[in-house]
Amino acid sequence: MRRAVIAGVGLMGGSLGLALRRRGWRVVGLGRDAARLAKARRRGAVDQTTTDPARALPGADVLVLCAPVDQLADQARRLRPFVENKTLVMDVGSVKGAVLRALAPLFPPGGPVFVGAHPMTGSEKTGVENARADLYRGAPCVVTPAPGTPVRVTARAEKFWRELGARVVRLTPDAHDRAVAVVSHLPHLIADALMLTAGDAGAGPLFRLAAGSFRDATRVAGADPALWRAIFTQNDAALRRALDVFEGALGRLAKGWPLPALRRARALNDRFRKDRP
Amino acid sequence: MRRAVIAGVGLMGGSLGLALRRRGWRVVGLGRDAARLAKARRRGAVDQTTTDPARALPGADVLVLCAPVDQLADQARRLRPFVENKTLVMDVGSVKGAVLRALAPLFPPGGPVFVGAHPMTGSEKTGVENARADLYRGAPCVVTPAPGTPVRVTARAEKFWRELGARVVRLTPDAHDRAVAVVSHLPHLIADALMLTAGDAGAGPLFRLAAGSFRDATRVAGADPALWRAIFTQNDAALRRALDVFEGALGRLAKGWPLPALRRARALNDRFRKDRP
């Protein structure tokens, strides 16, 4: 029986456990908080739980690191001594360049291999109580091999995510970070800034008027502030570049709300919705 | 039988007709394009249609001007000679200050009364084919009496929208414009700018990765560019102020992604969702 160890059983790790168990994997939940682990067990996200890496990791086919991005390096450092050569190590973090630079020294050639992965799903909700077996189905999952990652290891990582129904996209870590800065981190930042703008304008009365466009644009402002601060910080350079481009676009629009630019936005939107209905 | 004349039978006017007819009103569709009027008739949005204001307006209890905001003044000027004193005139435009300043001279004391209204609903879709009898149900509808509007006239306008299930909010035209600049026009502008940012970054590959936050934040970039250019232009001053505040908020966030500001955005978001689940 294939065996997966999930280190960190929140929304992402818990959903992964639910999905893997349905496909016949044996899933071990590994963590430092016994109460959180017990909750994941009750939720059916894992078959067994332990706080001891020495018990969890021997014999594992896959280890998936599910700590928040700013704690991934610590988590990997702690677990590394117990990882066998046969075990494929992956993460699910929202930033890949910084994570790879921190983790690469822990996984030199000849030992177990680390391949970064970023399933682009989730929600503004957190915790195993919001986990869903189908969280990864149909979602894009970016797999980010490093220059030296053996081809068969990348293939193994990609097969893992495809088995869960994800649409695998292969990118370099830096290309991933530039892309998600625009399509994920920037929309989160905008949601926060739009909420703060409403706050400055006297939230209460405004909120009575806010209809679909405000509600949709701010939904992700409900996401966890500490988690997102970590993501923004880890992807600082790419996010700043995306923000510059966005502010440039706003500036062009503010110069008389030019119809050609508004039409181009609409045309891009049509193309986007056609690709992803 | 109560009689309403709807001038302009697109999404807003057509939905209004559907809703009024269900409540026993007789609805006349008035316009300049016979083919559009015929389509509204077939859709069941109006009882009868005409391109002749002299035939439509005598005896009307209510005239609702449903032209796009930049064509409202022309529409009102054209219809004004045929409006009887007993007829309450309203619009459904997204901007109220500029519209009132254009229309007030047409409705001096002693004749029919004009009261601005803005039902905050609709969609990125347009046309009577997307009209829905329940479009106004549960939606905020801002009613914007001018300083000289008689109290009983304001009450009559508010009763009209309440009958359709709208949540009536009374504001001055300028307070309305400041509020919608933040909760409606700015989110639209942001959606456009975010689409243009994705376009600058090479839309296609990005679109494959875009998940919920990008999709939600850009939904209204699908709205009609000419219609929204008119709205931005008519509400230029308030929108620029809202944009300044928004850019200030982005700037503060970009200074190290400070946790207190991110927490404040989340708290505002919690308050917003609690008020409007």
Give the per-residue pLDDT at B276: 60
Give the per-residue pLDDT at A202: 80
Q: Which of residues 195-234 of B touch A (CB under 8 A)?
A: 195-201, 203, 205-226, 228-229, 232-233
- Which of A120, A165, A113, A162 lies closest to A142 in space, CA to CA? A120
Instruction: Nearest by CB to A257, from B180, B203, B229: name it.
Output: B229
Give the per-residue pLDDT at A173: 95
| Tokens found for residue A245 | 């481009």
Q: Which of residues 242-271 of B touch A (CB under 8 A)?
A: 242-243, 245-247, 249-250, 252-254, 256-259, 261-266, 268-271
Read off the pLDDT band of B105 (50, 70, 90).
very high
Q: Does A201 sit within 8 Å of B245, measured CB to CB?
A: yes
List of residues 6+ apart from B94 with CB closer than 8 A: B69, B118, B180, B184, B185, B231, B234, B235
Give the per-residue pLDDT at A124: 66
Q: Which of residues 11-30 of B touch A (CB under 8 A)?
A: none
Distance from CA of A258 to the nearest CA of B (A): 7
In the predicted structure, residue A159 carries a pLDDT above the cut 80: yes
Instruction: Nearest by CB to A194, from B186, B201, B271: name it.
Output: B186
**Is B96 in the A-facing interface, judged by CB distances under 8 Å?**
no
Distance from CA of A72 to the nearest CA of B (A): 20
- Ranges in chain A annotated CATH 3.40.50.720: 3-171
Give the per-residue pLDDT at B222: 85
Read off the pLDDT band of A123 (50, 70, 90).
low
CB A178 within 8 A of CB B201: yes
Scan for tokens 């809202």, then name that residue.
B242
CA B188 to chain centre: 13
Q: Does A189 sit within 8 Å of B253, measured CB to CB?
A: yes
Read off the pLDDT band of A114 (50, 70, 90).
very high
List the single best residue of B12, B174, B177, B190 to mutate versus A (max A Cβ within 10 A): B190
Q: What order do you get walking across the sheet with B113-119 strand by strand? A: B48-50, B26-30, B3-7, B62-65, B88-91, B113-119, B140-144, B167-170
Burial class of residue B21 (count of CB atoms within 10 Å of its CB; 0-12, 13-18, 19+): middle
Give one DSSP letter per residue of A199-220, joined into a string.
HHTTHHHHHHH--HHHHHHHGG
Segment B13-64, tens digit of pLDDT: 999 999 999 999 999 999 999 999 999 999 999 999 999 999 999 999 999 9
Scan for tokens 């970590």, then name that residue.
A230
| Tokens found for residue B139 | 């939606």
Closest chain B residue to the Cα of A136, Cα to Cα = B211
Read off the pLDDT band of B8 (50, 70, 90).
very high
Distance from CA of A238 to the nearest CA of B (A): 12
Give the per-residue pLDDT at A276: 60
Q: Does A213 sit within 8 Å of B219, measured CB to CB?
A: yes
Q: What order do you get walking across the sheet with A113-119 strand by strand? A: A48-50, A26-30, A3-7, A62-65, A88-91, A113-119, A140-144, A167-170
Q: Are strands B140-144 and B113-119 parallel, antiparallel or unpaired?
A: antiparallel
Q: Does A219 sit within 8 Å of B216, measured CB to CB?
A: yes
Give the per-residue pLDDT at B275: 63
- Which of A38, A34, A52, A42 lies closest to A18 in space, CA to CA? A42
Q: Does B121 sit within 8 Å of A214, measured CB to CB?
A: no
Q: Does A192 sit within 8 Å of B265, measured CB to CB?
A: yes
CA A67 to chain centre: 10
Segment A199-219, tens digit of pLDDT: 988 877 788 888 788 999 999
Instruction: Nearest by CB to B266, from A139, A211, A221: name it.
Output: A221
In the predicted structure, residue A67 carries a pLDDT above the cut 60: yes
d(CA B26, CA B172) in angstroms, rounded, equals: 31
Burial class of residue B217 (count of CB atoms within 10 Å of its CB; 0-12, 13-18, 19+): buried
**Is A140 in the B-facing interface, judged by CB distances under 8 Å?**
yes
Segment B60-93, tens digit of pLDDT: 999 999 998 889 999 999 999 999 999 999 999 9
The helix-helix angle for A236-254 and A186-200 (nearest 10°) equals 60
Q: Does B226 sit within 8 Å of A265, measured CB to CB?
A: no
In the predicted structure, residue B136 carries a pLDDT above the cut 70: yes
Q: Measured between beta carbons, which residues in chain A are less than 8 angstroms from residue B252?
A: 196
Read off the pLDDT band of A125 (50, 70, 90).
confident
Q: Measured between beta carbons, which residues in chain A are less than 8 angstroms from residue B188?
A: 213
Q: Does B216 sit within 8 Å of A264, measured CB to CB?
A: no
Q: Measured between beta carbons, which residues in chain B are less than 8 angstroms from residue A233?
A: 256-257
Q: Quick one: CA torsion of B92, B97, B98, B102, rounded to 10 degrees?
A: 80
Give the per-residue pLDDT at A206: 84
Read off the pLDDT band of A91 (50, 70, 90).
very high
Q: Which residues are registered as beta bridge partners of B168? A: B141
Q: How many percent of chain B have pLDDT more than 70? A: 98
Give the per-residue pLDDT at B124: 66
List of residues 6+ apart from A266 with CB closer than 8 A: B192, B195, B221, B222, B223, B224, B225
* Fold annotation for B3-171: Rossmann fold (3.40.50)
The CATH class of B176-275 is mainly alpha
d(CA B15, CA B60) in angstroms, rounded, equals: 19
Read off the pLDDT band of A225 (50, 70, 90).
very high
ipTM: 0.85
Closest chain B residue to the Cα of A138, Cα to Cα = B211
**Is A237 in the B-facing interface, judged by CB distances under 8 Å?**
no
Distance from CA of A13 to the nearest CA of B (A): 19
Closest chain A residue to the Cα of B121, Cα to Cα = A211
* Average pLDDT of chain B, as a whole number: 94
Q: Which of residues 163-182 of A touch B (CB under 8 A)?
A: 167, 169, 178-180, 182
Segment A179-201, tens digit of pLDDT: 999 999 999 999 999 999 999 88
What are the start-end ranges of the H helices in A110-235?
151-163, 173-180, 186-200, 203-209, 212-218, 225-234
- Ranges in chain B annotated CATH 1.10.3660.10: 176-275
Q: Does A120 sit within 8 Å of B211, measured CB to CB?
A: yes
Q: Measured between beta carbons, which residues in chain A are less than 8 angstroms from residue B169?
A: 208-209
CA atoms within 13 A on the CB side of B179: 26
C-alpha distances (whole Å) from A112 to each of A13, A63, A84, A106, B113 are 21, 10, 6, 9, 79
- Which of A74, A72, A105 lies closest to A90 in space, CA to CA? A72
Distance from CA of A211 to the nearest CA of B (A): 6
Across the range A232-250, mean pLDDT stands at 96
Backbone angles phi, psi at B134, to 5 degrees: -105, 20
3-class state of residue A89 by DSSP = strand
| Tokens found for residue A237 | 């350079």
Q: Measured between beta carbons, which residues in chain A are less than 8 angstroms from residue B199?
A: 264-265, 268
Segment B154-164, tens digit of pLDDT: 999 999 999 99
Q: Are strands A113-119 and A140-144 parallel, antiparallel or unpaired?
A: antiparallel
Q: How many percent of chain A have pLDDT more than 90? A: 84
3-class state of residue B66 by DSSP = coil
C-alpha distances (whole Å) from B206 to each of A118, A119, A166, A176, B93 are 14, 14, 16, 9, 36
Output the CA torsion sign for A152, A154, A155, A157: positive
Distance from CA of A159 to the nearest CA of B (A): 18
